[in-house]
Amino acid sequence: MSGTGQDATHEPGARAPRASDPEMPETPVTETETETAAIPYRFERTHSAAEVVEHWASLADGEESGVEVSVAGRVMLNRPQGRLAFAELRDWSGAIQLFALAKVTKDFDGLTRVNLGDWVGVRGEVVRTKRGELSVKVAEWSPLARARRGFGDKWRGVSDPEIRYRQREVDLWANESSRHILTLRSRLVKAMRERLWAAGFVEVETPILHPIAGGAAAKPFVTHHNALDADLYLRIAPELYLKRLVVGGFEKVFEIGRLFRNEGISPRHNPEFTTLELYQAYADYGDLMVLIEELVSGLAQDLLGTTTLSYQGRPLELAAPWRRATMVELITEHTGLKVDVHTPIDELRSAARAHGVTPDDSWGPGKILVEVYEKTTEAELWGPVFVMDYPAEVSPLARRHRDDLDLVERFEPVVAGRELANAFSELTDPDDQRARFEEQAAAHRAGDEEANEVDEDYLRALEYGLPPTAGFGLGIDRLTMLFSDVSNIREVIAFPTLRPEH
RNA sequence: GCGCCUCUAGCUCAACGGCAGAGCAACGGACUCUUAAUCCGCAGGUUUCGGGUUCGAAUCCCGAGGGGCGCACCA
């Protein structure tokens, strides 16, 4: 804030005028204010619940440790029993029992009246009860927050998705699996960063507000900058900026961040989602296959202690190396069709119709091929498998295949029927890139909202020289789903996008 | 965007054309080793909303809204 006048709210005693001020209506002292007055500004905690459990694991039944600790958390169960009482206190680390006795616990009656969900801080000796439960024998305690609202059924918690996702704070206290999944996600991102840093990659942040939404085929969100009086787009991919950093000399670079795509919401799609996007100079897409299979299997090892997963009841082996197969090989395997980008277009069209794909007149052979692949083959691939060599027609940013100029050196690792990433040897030729942009721009003008526009800034960067480079984007939400064995993307996002309430 | 399913007390669920209920939570009480403690008491509802059929609707029908799943789109 500016330096005009003192900040009255920081002055002790300078509270809002009360009844003494004739200008102000009389403000009664509410129950809330008296409750709040009993709540300290800080609480000196000496141990987490888990630390108590670990440190005094060998305490015998009925034994007293002689050591006093302070713990804090939310009361999840409360069992007053006349002149003694038990409660379960849960904090981030776990849970510990509170044991209170009327003759030793200060404000014993108050403690027995604590509601489920209330936060309390407790000081007392670590003991184990006669029945063998490690406990803190409460000498004194303090309320830290009252739960005015309940946390659902104390045994079943809450299961209504409306509450679970809109009021995640309730879900997280009520359902251990929700806490576990979000913690796993945090550990995954941390381990991913550590592996990439160790491999010499530099982490960067590129703009989220883009003047042109490029780097992927998707509909963007539009926003407006008032001072510039310019429309800006929330990024659909960081790809073009990251490659400009490679032009600038960042030979191994990555970004972990949020992308925004203005598309439908489904159990596998959130409008904002997180990806790892990575570029490596002097490398081609073959190098990336090794990098990805080692990264993903290594993360499984880091987080789960194994590369052998079970996903939705089916076994999934992530150990490297993963199978490598071209898209046309896989189409042939799954449909018996012997087709490729050079197959006469009429033949491709009828083959597509025979497999439930209705080709649009504007589609070339490449587009038809990809549609047939996605319709017939992709969901059947359990994998992991690297699906290689996409048609150039559908890949405007990828470099043409060294053995076939109608293909590009692109692959998608498919795991459990879903693409986990998208990777290619990057197109480095500014002239070819301009030509591909022009094709996209024509499609955009013809009504394809997902087609790219010509990005002159990016073309200029390529003219300064992009060395041979390979890069990929990998969905972190999807990877977390895989590792936590859930089928709905909302489970791995703390606050998934929902229709606004009312 | 389209299709199917769903919505009952704060939470989890019964009642499925005939008086809207239970457990937990909350509230009041009993209880000196509980473990989802137990026991007694009390309170809690325009059955998501709006129409319709019927002597009678939480229940059947139509519409709206929220949610779930599938399809489409995509990662």
pLDDT digits (tens, 9 = 90+) for A216-230: 888 888 888 999 999
Q: What is the pLDDT of residue A25?
A: 37
Nucleotide with minimal C1' distance from the CA of A267 is B69
Other beta carbons less than 10 A from residue A315's beta carbon: 9
At A262-296, the pLDDT tens digits run 888 888 889 999 999 999 999 999 999 999 999 99
CA distance A201 to A277: 11
Q: What is the pLDDT of residue A502?
A: 53
Does the structure show a pLDDT above 80 at A8?
no
At A156-182, the pLDDT tens digits run 889 988 889 888 999 999 999 999 999
Measure A187 CA to B59 C1' (Å). Answer: 49
Work out the end-to-end distance of chain A between its first and last CA atoms, rounded to an integer number of angstroms.
35
Measure A101 CA to B31 C1' (Å). Answer: 14
Nucleotide with minimal C1' distance from the CA of A487 is B69
At A124-146, the pLDDT tens digits run 999 999 999 999 999 999 999 99
State which amino acid sits at residue A359: P
Measure A70 CA to B59 C1' (Å). Answer: 55
Three-state DSSP state, A42: coil
Q: What is the pLDDT of residue A335?
A: 83
Average pLDDT score, chain A: 88
Q: What is the pLDDT of residue A13?
A: 32
CA distance A107 to A283: 69
The whole-model pTM stands at 0.88
Does the structure show a pLDDT above 60 at A21?
no
At A292-337, the pLDDT tens digits run 999 999 999 999 999 999 988 889 999 999 999 999 999 988 888 8
At A420-454, the pLDDT tens digits run 999 999 999 999 999 988 888 888 787 777 778 88
State which amino acid sits at residue A139: A
Judge contact between A84 and A100, C-beta under 8 A.
yes
Query: Using a CB cutoff of 8 Å and minimum separation of 24, what contacts does A331-334 make?
Result: A331/A369, A331/A372, A331/A373, A331/A376, A331/A377, A333/A377, A334/A376, A334/A377, A334/A380
Measure A90 CA to B11 C1' (Å). Answer: 20
**For A44-48, A117-121, A160-164, A465-469, which range has the lowest pLDDT when averaged over its residues?**
A160-164
Residue A22 — pLDDT band, cuts 50, 70, 90?
Answer: very low
Other beta carbons less than 10 A from residue A134's beta carbon: 20
Does the structure show a pLDDT above 60 at A5?
no
Judge contact between A138 and A122, C-beta under 8 A.
yes
Task: State ipTM.
Answer: 0.90
Segment (H or E) for A241: helix A239-247
Does the structure show a pLDDT above 80 at A6?
no
Measure A150 CA to B25 C1' (Å). Answer: 7
Nucleotide with minimal C1' distance from the CA of A133 is B35
Q: What is the pLDDT of residue A32?
A: 55
Exposure class string for A210-234: b at 16+ Cβ within 10 A, else e: bebbbbbbbebeeeeeeeeeeebbb
Q: What is the pLDDT of residue A7?
A: 34
Secondary structure (DSSP) of A366-397: HHHHHHHHHHHTGGG--S-EEEEEEEGGG-TT
Measure A41 CA to B43 C1' (Å). Answer: 36
Measure A137 CA to B37 C1' (Å). Answer: 18
Secondary structure (DSSP) of A343-364: S-HHHHHHHHHHTT----TT--
Measure A266 CA to B69 C1' (Å). Answer: 10
Query: Nearest residue to B37, CA vs C1'?
Result: A79
Does the structure show a pLDDT above 80 at A9?
no
Three-state DSSP state, A147: coil
Cis peptide before A384 (omega within 30 of 0): yes
Q: What is the pLDDT of residue A501?
A: 66
Strand B, nucleotides covered by protein (CB < 7 Å): 1, 10-13, 23-28, 30-37, 66-75
Nucleotide with minimal C1' distance from the CA of A61 is B33
Does the structure show a pLDDT above 70 at A207?
yes
Three-state DSSP state, A244: helix
Q: What is the pLDDT of residue A68?
A: 97
CA distance A456 to A435: 12
Which residues neighbour A346 within 8 Å (Cβ) at sequence distance 6 or greater?
A: none
Secondary structure (DSSP) of A61-103: TT-EEEEEEEEEEEEEEEEEETTEEEEEEEETTEEEEEEEETT
At A46-59, the pLDDT tens digits run 999 999 999 999 99
pLDDT above 70 covers a percentage of chain A that reads: 93
**CA–CA distances in Å: residue A321 to residues A307, A318, A325:** 12, 8, 13
CA distance A290 to A441: 34
Nucleotide with minimal C1' distance from the CA of A412 is B75
Q: What is the pLDDT of residue A411?
A: 94
Q: What is the pLDDT of residue A493?
A: 92
Nucleotide with minimal C1' distance from the CA of A357 is B72
Measure A150 CA to B27 C1' (Å). Answer: 14
Query: Nearest residue to B69, CA vs C1'?
Result: A267
At A360-402, the pLDDT tens digits run 877 888 888 898 888 888 888 888 999 999 998 888 899 999 9
Instruction: Quickly tell me which residue has 């996002």 as its tokens.
Output: A493
Nucleotide with minimal C1' distance from the CA of A85 is B34
Torsion of CA A292, A297, A299, A300, to 10 degrees: 150
Q: What is the pLDDT of residue A341?
A: 87
